[in-house]
């Protein structure tokens, strides 16, 4: 399959949730094999996924099917990035005070 064909592939989970489309690949320079697939969501392209080849369940001519936990992993990473809402505020002061 060529890169231009790969870029058109839809990516969805085993349970049928559509994640988006492949837009780029990460290739191992030594072995010339695909290591990861970069996927952007179809809706406004606001979500991005980096899918390791080990997370792929099946690859068809028109789509790639990945493990269901791929979407859950991305959500948990985003939740962690938001920070802890219970974090304490730190008082700032000018130097020399």
CB 43 within 8 A of CB 49: no
Yes or no: is domain 3-81 CATH 3.40.50.2300? no
Indicate the range of 39-48, 53-62, 78-87 predicted with least confidence.
78-87
Angle, alpha carbons 83-21-54 (nearest 5°)? 75
Query: What is the C-alpha to C-alpha distance for residues 71 and 49, in angstroms, rounded to an integer?
Result: 8
Question: 47 in helix, strand or coil?
Answer: coil
Which two structure tokens, joined as six digits, stand for 61?
């001519």
Query: What is the C-alpha to C-alpha distance for residues 97 and 94, in angstroms, rounded to an integer?
Result: 6
* Domain boundary assignment for the chain: 3-81
Residue-wise pLDDT for 7-24, tens only, equals 889 999 999 999 999 999
**What pLDDT is stored for residue 73 in this prediction?**
60
């Amino acid at each position: 399959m060529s890169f231009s064909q790969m870029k058109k592939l839809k990516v969805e989970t085993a349970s049928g949730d559509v994640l988006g489309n492949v837009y780029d690949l990460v290739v191992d320079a030594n072995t010339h094999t695909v290591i990861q697939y970069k996927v952007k969501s179809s809706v406004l392209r606001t979500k991005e996924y980096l899918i390791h080849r080990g997370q792929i369940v099946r690859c068809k001519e028109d789509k790639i099917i990945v493990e269901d936990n791929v979407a859950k992993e991305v959500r948990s990473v985003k939740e962690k990035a938001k920070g802890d809402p219970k974090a304490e505020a730190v008082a700032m002061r000018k130097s020399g005070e």
